[in-house]
Amino acid sequence: MKIEKQYKINIIVPFVTMADIAFLLLIFLIISSSTQKTPLLKLSLPESNQFDRIKKTGNVEIFVTPDNEVVYNKKKCDLGELRSILLPGKQCVISADKETDFKIIYKIIELLKENNYENLSFAVKRQTGVFSGK
Amino acid sequence: MKLKNNFKLNTNIPASAQSDIAFLLIIFFIVTAIFFERTGIIFKLPEKSGKTLKLTAREFIEIKAYNDFLIINKEKIDYSEIYVVLEAMKRATKRNIAIVYFSDDLKYEKFINIFQAVKKAGDIKISIKPLDKK
């Protein structure tokens, strides 16, 4: 006696979902590219419970590493070079490691004043809980 | 007798659920994007052409900043006390200008502690100078 197998497996790939997957990947790439501006710098920002939100656009960004190296436009430079290449602007964000010497930051502030910058933001990490100055 | 298997195995992926997943992921990305928002202590820089004020010792709060301690108007204090002392001094003397003299080796993190206390005390104008130029 011969028993026939009659069930069939439908192997069609649902193309309807492909558009969704492509859309999700696109969103992921947009978000990840906008959040990682300086992937090579590992800065440990100081904590503060007094903070404002930094605007995402129109800022000139200066980074200072714990070794007191200044990074501007993804290039390491000294203060003399920074003076010559600093673009004019209104607001600047300084993202410096908490172990950076403040005298370097002070020199950058003086430079910003010379270049008629109006607002300066010191990037900090949010501190939760009660005020505790270290 | 011939036996037949009549059940069919449905292997289609339910495409209607994909849009729900996509929608949930979009919500997740939007929410996490808010968490990535950058925070900072924002200060207004003085104008380059701004006039210089001449102050007597009674008109401002003098802060000398070292890595381990602070001296506010000749009183040695710890960093954990800065806000309380500054607030009390501001109320008692009605002075709303602080001049911060920083030591050569002062770390950026320590200065942020002073900044956040000044910001929290409110309505205090701040001037920064190196201690060796006092």
The CATH number of whichever domain residue B69 belongs to comes to 3.30.420.270
Reported as a single tens digit per residue, the pLDDT across A5-48 is 667 777 776 676 777 777 778 877 777 666 555 556 788 899 88
- In this structure, is residue B40 part of a structural domain? no
Long-range contacts of B82-87 (CB under 8 A, 24+ apart): B82/A133, B82/B113, B82/B114, B82/B117, B83/A131, B83/A133, B83/B117, B83/B120, B83/B121, B86/B61, B86/B117, B86/B118, B86/B121, B86/B124, B87/B120, B87/B121
| Residue of B121, B119, B43, B116 lying closest to A126 (CA atoms) | B116
pLDDT the model gives residue A33: 65
- In this structure, is residue B29 part of a structural domain? no
Reported as a single tens digit per residue, the pLDDT across B20-39 is 777 787 778 777 766 667 88
For residues A107-114, average pLDDT: 91
- In this structure, is residue B104 part of a structural domain? yes
**Highest-scoring range by mean pLDDT, B1-10, B22-31, B107-116, B121-130:** B107-116
**ipTM of this predicted complex?**
0.72
**Share of residues in chain B with pLDDT > 70 (%):** 87
Residue B17 has pLDDT above 90, yes or no: no
What pLDDT band is residue B6 in, cutting at 50, 70 and 90?
Answer: low
- In this structure, is residue B99 part of a structural domain? yes
**Cross-chain Cβ contact B39/A52 below 8 Å:** yes
What pLDDT band is residue B13 in, cutting at 50, 70 and 90?
Answer: low
Q: Which two tokens stand for residue A51?
A: 């903070």
Residue A122 has pLDDT above 60, yes or no: yes
Pick among A5, A10, A13, A48 to test the B interface (most B CBs inside 10 A): A48
pLDDT the model gives residue A132: 43
- In this structure, is residue B97 part of a structural domain? yes
Residue B8 has pLDDT above 50, yes or no: yes
What pLDDT band is residue B65 in, cutting at 50, 70 and 90?
Answer: very high
Structural domains in chain A plus CATH codes: 47-126 (3.30.420)
Range of the domain at B68: 57-133
pLDDT the model gives residue B110: 93
Q: How many domains does chain B have?
A: 1
Reported as a single tens digit per residue, the pLDDT across A71-106 is 998 888 988 888 888 888 888 999 999 999 999 999
A1 vs B contacts (CB less than 8 Å): 1-3
More confident residue, B56 or A70: A70
Determine the distance in angstroms separating the CA of B57 from the nearest CA of chain A, rounded to an integer. 23
Per-chain mean pLDDT for chain A: 81
What pLDDT band is residue A107 in, cutting at 50, 70 and 90?
Answer: very high
**Cross-chain Cβ contact A97/B46 below 8 Å:** no
Per-chain mean pLDDT for chain B: 82
pLDDT the model gives residue B5: 66
- In this structure, is residue B110 part of a structural domain? yes
- In this structure, is residue B24 part of a structural domain? no
CB-nearest to B13 from A5, A17, A98 is A17
- In this structure, is residue B103 part of a structural domain? yes
